[in-house]
Structure 1
């Protein structure tokens, strides 16, 4: 049978499998939206308390604000109104910024994707390569040294590592900027602008890469060691097959699956995973923006951020499952 839609995964056509996974993802997103809405609104405090101020707030002003934002309605009424607007593509108006939620998210998603995707790919490549290299030389001095270094960075607080890198490379050596995404005073354009962004990306990117690489390193290392100890590998060695051929043809595909899972999870939580680092380096991304929205109890903005987070999780889980099927055809889906 030819054609992508007629390929089969465990007796199920690829198109049907993708359809089922998309349906599951859509249901997951709907449940996440409803739970997020209820939990956010049940949390202590609301945006009206913040907008009206703490010093002698006017009851009339509070009542007017609650009526304006629909907070005087029962929770279920507010939920159905939000879902109705969401179906129409309206994510609402930010209470604290008085701007459409879609516009605010669009401004912030680019910097977060740039920082997160760059560091995720670097961590995947570096950690997996080092893990495989050490696994094939398990017990060597280099293996022991890299294991120790991985545990050191794994136990290191992200905000502390970021501040230490700022202290060394920005304050002492004066090689890199301390914060932000661009130099606002320089007003670069064209190629100079991209180089300026790259220069500002180095420190937050290095921080996240140093923190994330140990996960990929240890998972890749342990997976390769486990697969190489399997009986079928011993049998292949007994037949006289070369070690490199055994690894490239049989070991690598089996050992890489856990790494793919971790990479998918890393991408799924791309918005929240870099929040602390974005704050340390004043990076204008989604993570730091979400924390500000939580502090101001900006319900529409928070719901918009959680919506994009839910979609990110669902899409990445579907992609990971498909990559699994490509890497290892033995996997069966029911």
Structure 2
């Protein structure tokens, strides 16, 4: 097991460096930058700024400088916001992270429970209701469901805030502040959960249906084990194996999907900064955020492989 983990860890490091080069190279060959898009600068001043920030140097030299600085926690300087990129992202990324992590926990909890119960009660009214709700949630666009929930719960019933992270002019601190933020998180987290839970529920249902028909499940039942033990101790352990791989893509996917949610609900997250950076060609911010998502994906794959190997010993022998 230790040798397998070490091998996967070294592969992860190599992939991280390779990904960083690809990301930097793609952004480097894009036409124009923040300086070029600023029409108020004279050609002489624009050239001075490019020389100052090293934008007139060869791509490989710029990449090595950027990589060396990034390893020391310096991802460049945002010309749009006049602030270091790491400091800028640190202000907003945690707001997005809390929404994403709560949505992830709810998505997997609901999908696991409903998927297993739907498989156990195949063709029942519960299975039919779950199938209908799953496809209904997957069919509607995210902005439509968001606006619909805002109208229902924010405008008509007036029980939930329709946007922002706190009330305008709020001076709450401590527990009161956390409760206020939590209330504002309900709608964004609910929408992200609805958009993600459908496909994952079908995945768990299909996996469980395949497992409960296997011979060792029939043997476990023939031994007189309780149905609860057969399902949740024997069947679920093998049915959940393929879903472990999906976990590596869930968190980066939620960060990406939250960009639309943050615009609709006016949530002060990193998605808004990313959209502004695209508009103003603020490439240092875009590179840092893209690298952040790539790191989440690569680290998630590493953890998924290790978890998979821990659950299924056959993986370690290949």
TM-score by length of 1: 0.89
**Shift in CA distance, 81/92, structure 1 to aligned 2, threshold 3 Å:** same
Which residue does 1:314 correspond to in 2? 298
Give the secondary-structure state (helix, strand or coil) at the position aligned to 1:272: helix
Match of 1:120 among 78, 90, 104: 104
Which residue does 1:87 correspond to in 2? 71
**Shift in CA distance, 227/266, structure 1 to aligned 2, threshold 3 Å:** same
**Shift in CA distance, 48/249, structure 1 to aligned 2, threshold 3 Å:** same
1:333 CA displacement: 4.8
Contact 2:111/2:197 (<8 A) preserved: yes
Contact 2:77/2:284 (<8 A) preserved: yes
1:188 CA displacement: 1.1
Cα shift readout 1:74-119 (whole Å, capped 9, x = no counterpart): 2223222212322333211111111111111111121111000001
Which residue does 2:31 correspond to in 1? 44
Match of 2:240 among 256, 280, 289: 256
Looking at structure 2, the residues matched to 85 and 287 of structure 1 have their Cα atoms a distance apart, in angstroms, of 24
Which residue does 2:138 correspond to in 1? 154
Structure 1 spans left out of the alignment, 5+ residues:
1-8
Contact 1:127/1:214 (<8 A) preserved: yes
Q: What is the correspondence of 1:164-313 to structure 2 with a 5 Å cutoff?
A: 164-238=148-222, 241-313=225-297
Looking at structure 1, the residues matched to 275 and 283 of structure 2 have their Cα atoms a distance apart, in angstroms, of 12
Match of 2:125 among 135, 141, 152: 141
Cα shift readout 1:267-311 (whole Å, capped 9, x = no counterpart): 244432321111211212223322222222112111211222222
Cα shift readout 1:39-60 (whole Å, capped 9, x = no counterpart): 112223311122235xxx6322
Q: Which runs of 4+ in 1 moved over 6 A?
A: none
Looking at structure 2, the residues matched to 156 and 263 of structure 1 have their Cα atoms a distance apart, in angstroms, of 24
Structure 2 spans left out of the alignment, 5+ residues:
none
Residue correspondences, number: 318
Looking at structure 2, the residues matched to 245 and 299 of structure 1 have their Cα atoms a distance apart, in angstroms, of 54
**Shift in CA distance, 259/30, structure 1 to aligned 2, threshold 3 Å:** same
Which residue does 2:18 correspond to in 1? 31
Give the secondary-structure state (helix, strand or coil) at the position aligned to 1:164: helix
Looking at structure 2, the residues matched to 305 and 135 of structure 1 have their Cα atoms a distance apart, in angstroms, of 39
Contact 1:124/1:263 (<8 A) preserved: no
Which residue does 2:47 correspond to in 1? 63
Give the secondary-structure state (helix, strand or coil) at the position aligned to 2:267: coil
Give the secondary-structure state (helix, strand or coil) at the position aligned to 1:33: helix
Root-mean-square deviation (Å): 1.9
Which residue does 2:313 correspond to in 1? 329
Looking at structure 2, the residues matched to 188 and 292 of structure 1 have their Cα atoms a distance apart, in angstroms, of 29
Contact 1:290/1:302 (<8 A) preserved: yes
